[in-house]
Amino acid sequence: MTKLTISLAQMRIKLARADENLATATNMIAQAAADSADIALLPELWSTGYDLENAREHASNLGEGSFAQVADAARQNRIAVYGSLLERRGDRVMNCAAFYDAAGELRGVYRKIHLFRLFDEHLWLSEGEAPDLLQAAWGAAGLAICYDLRFPELFRRYAVAHGAALMLLCAEWPLARAEHWRTLLRARAIENQCFVAATNSCGETGGTVFGGHSMIIDPWGQVIAEAGTDECLLTAEIDLAEVQRVRRAIPVFEDRRPDAYLGR
């Protein structure tokens, strides 16, 4: 299986209104399934937005609350789903992205490593401890959340150490830095010769206007599909075989010289 259809659910998140956001998310998941998508990507913290002062009240254990609702939606619609929620983990709260397969089974968990100080994440949340590589029937994918996009080392590890052909990223990225978003997504695809699928939120939430422009990018850095700034569902097909063709054409990984520049 090399061809994969991905839907990006670009949501206008309502701050701290989990029931309304769940209704939007489940409707978009159902529409993605109707469009024959294999995966639906939801934005970062799609259930609550950045209502971090009340993060402990919103958070649930993995497998419960909103996590369980997503698993149910994946299973009922026979589609894989990826997006982040607030997770209660012991006495900590974390920004946790979970990947559920089309049977509603948990296949990947990534807890955000790089906390975004401009939104006070470091005051309310605990850092993730390690990257997480998703192993699926169609191959390996790197998992990431929003601010991680500014740290190329994470994506390089996924590509070089694990051969990931696809990066999945969920975000709440502000409109004020939309050009950073677009440029960095293309850079991560080009430098790692992989597909990048990234879902952003849109519209105003909690006083911040988010930028939309959810995108799917190919290993050459060409934009396959891009949303505007309104709420929408964007669906496109990718052919993962293209990754190996590009990596053979320009053997970047073979020409790396970590002995010359790492650890110095």
Active site residues: 44, 112, 146
Alpha carbon separation from 144 to 19, 37, 83, 155, 256 (Å, rounded): 25, 20, 10, 8, 24
What SS3 state is found at 152?
helix
In angstroms, the CA 198 to CA 44 distance is 10
- Cα 92 to Cα 107: distance, rounded to the nearest angstrom: 22
Q: CB–CB of 165/140 below 8 Å? A: yes
Going by their DSSP bridges, the two strands 3-10 and 80-89 should be labelled as unpaired
d(CA 174, CA 7): 21
Distance CA 165, CA 36 (A): 21
Q: Which residues of 134-157 are buried (b: 16+ CB within 10 A; e: fewer)?
A: bebebbbbbbbbbbbbeeeebbbe
The secondary structure element, H or E, covering residue 27 is helix 18-34
Nearest Cα residue to 26 out of 66, 84, 86: 66
Closest CA to 41 of 117, 122, 146, 115: 146
d(CA 141, CA 97): 13
